[in-house]
Amino acid sequence: KTFGDVAIHYNAMPTDELLPEVAKNYKIERSRNRGMLTISILKRTNLGVSQASKGEVKVHIPTLTGQSVEVPMREIVEGAAIYYIGEYRVTAPQTLKFVVSAKPEGGDRALSFDFSRQFYK
């Protein structure tokens, strides 16, 4: 998703698709009933190059009953890469809607969008 000079990359997937060593490294439980969300914020520099940026990332999943489940996000920094990961419960088959709010470090406002992901297994 692009907002001017800021791009937000996102993905949602079942944690049982992670390699065991990756799940262990990030302390993520591999399960058909768990999902993992990744969000990264990229800002375009004056030279036109995209660079990872820290920020404040909030995500929630609206439920069918009108409630909202917050997805706790944690920051991961690996060299020049910065991203945020969160885990949530999923019962397949199910379609989840994710509502994302990301405020890049130094930004004056949060950038908001939503996306849906179908889980089949």
Per residue in 31-78, pLDDT (tens digit) is 989 999 999 999 988 888 899 999 999 999 998 888 899 999 999 999
pTM (2 d.p.):
0.90
Residue-level pLDDT at 18 = 94
The radius of gyration of the chain from alpha carbons, rounded to an integer in Å, stands at: 15
Residue-level pLDDT at 108 = 86
How crowded is residue 70: how many other Cβ atoms within 10 Å of its Cβ?
Answer: 11
In whole angstroms, give the CA distance from residue 29 to residue 24.
8
Residue-level pLDDT at 46 = 83
Span 14-43, average pLDDT: 94
How crowded is residue 2: how many other Cβ atoms within 10 Å of its Cβ?
Answer: 10
Adjacent-strand bridge partners of 35: 14, 88
Contact 22, 78 (CB under 8 A): no
Pairing, β 81-89 against β 94-104: unpaired
Residue-level pLDDT at 63 = 86
Contact 107, 6 (CB under 8 A): yes
Summarised one tens digit per residue, pLDDT across range 67-118 is: 899 999 999 999 999 999 999 999 888 899 999 999 999 888 999 999 999 9
Q: Phi-psi bin for 16: left (phi > 0), alpha (psi -120 to 50), beta?
A: alpha
Residue-level pLDDT at 64 = 81
Span 15-19, average pLDDT: 94
Contact 86, 36 (CB under 8 A): yes
Please list the helix, strand and coil fractions of the chain in percent, rounded to the nearest 5, in that order: 5, 60, 30
